[in-house]
Amino acid sequence: MEKARALKPDVITMDYEMPMMDGVTAVRQIMAENPTPILMFSSLTYEGARTTLDALDAGAVDFLPKNFSEVSSNSAALKAKLHQKLAQIARKTAATQTPMVKPVDVPKVANIKGQIRLVVIGASTGGPLAVTEVVRNLPANFPLPVILVLHMPENFTRAFAERLDKQSRVKVKEATDNDLLVPGTVLLAPGGKQTILHPVNKQTISVIDGDDRVNYKPCVDITLASAAKAQGAGLLGVIMTGMGSDGRDGARLVKQQRGHIWTQDEDSCVIYGMPQAVVREGLSDRVCKLAELSRLLSTEL
């Protein structure tokens, strides 16, 4: 806390277990005194997940799970991931001080009320807080099923689903194999697996191991691709804050099947990478402010 006051850093990394004060309390106090992007770097356990989610609620922007076997056996790879996260978060901070790039034109918004049968939401860096804001503001009578795909490891998705369910009027649960798509229920894709729509029974979820060559487990592209094939014009994909371009290829398939894509606007993203990749390809039907997404989902579908 003293260094945050004195140095005013671009980014802070924070563990949880420390002498004198735990990391969540430190995050809360730093955000109150000297708001700074904070990356939680904590253990890959269920309790570590719960603590990390507490830190996100306190104001941390993102997290990187600390797998102790990876620290000992492949520390170079973990170091590279940490560096990439820090650089991306710092770049977002610096971007607020530099001229904006001219935005890509987005076509006029089409009326899709009554057409949509399924909503798929994808996010990564900054996603837990952004998605929480959207889901907990959906009404109890929200008429559509939702699949939520976040780049999170297994213990984190379970803890996040439990927490979000307690905060929301809609039902939220971690998806399991053969779950049904139920109106007013949000199924969170489990970490370490791929979540797709069953190729025959299109109202059923399949949770599979997937291909190890795919970078993300769960992967937004894979879920969107299967949903596009199953739902066609009845699908709405929403691409939110996140690093990289996961969701772009899936969005292209959604559009080919006459489905619809919304993206989160740049100003409200922690990292604009995923929505930007979709917008630059001309695949976004609507750019939405985070604060408006719940209302738009509730009133325009």
Question: Looking at 42, 124, 268, 284, which residue is catalytic?
Answer: 124
Catalytic residue among 246, 249, 265, 285, which?
Answer: 246
Beta bridge partners of 41: 64
CB 249 within 8 A of CB 131: no
Catalytic residue among 151, 179, 226, 245: 151
Taking alpha carbons only, the member of 283, 291, 260, 255 closest to residue 111 is 260
**What is the distance, to the nearest Å, from the Cα of residue 156 to the centroid of all Cα atoms in its chain?**
12
Task: Please state at what angle helix 127-135 crosses helix 154-167, rounded to 10 degrees.
Answer: 30
Residue pair 156/65 in contact (Cβ under 8 Å)? The answer is yes
User: Do 163 and 54 meet the contact criterion of CB atoms below 8 Å apart?
Assistant: no
Rounded to whole angstroms, the Cα distance separating 218 from 88 reads 21
* Region label for 210, one of left (φ > 0), alpha (ψ between -120 and 50) or beta (otherwise): left
Tell me the C-alpha distance between 208 and 100, whole Å: 41
What is the DSSP secondary structure assignment for residue 180, as one 8-state letter? Answer: B
Residue 267 bears catalytic tag: no
Query: Residue 128 in 3-state DSSP?
Result: helix
Burial of 123 (0-12, 13-18, 19+ CB in 10 A): buried
Q: 151 catalytic, yes or no? A: yes
Residue given tokens 């795919």 in the structure block = 214
Mark whether 124 is an active-site residue: yes
Active site residues: 124, 151, 246
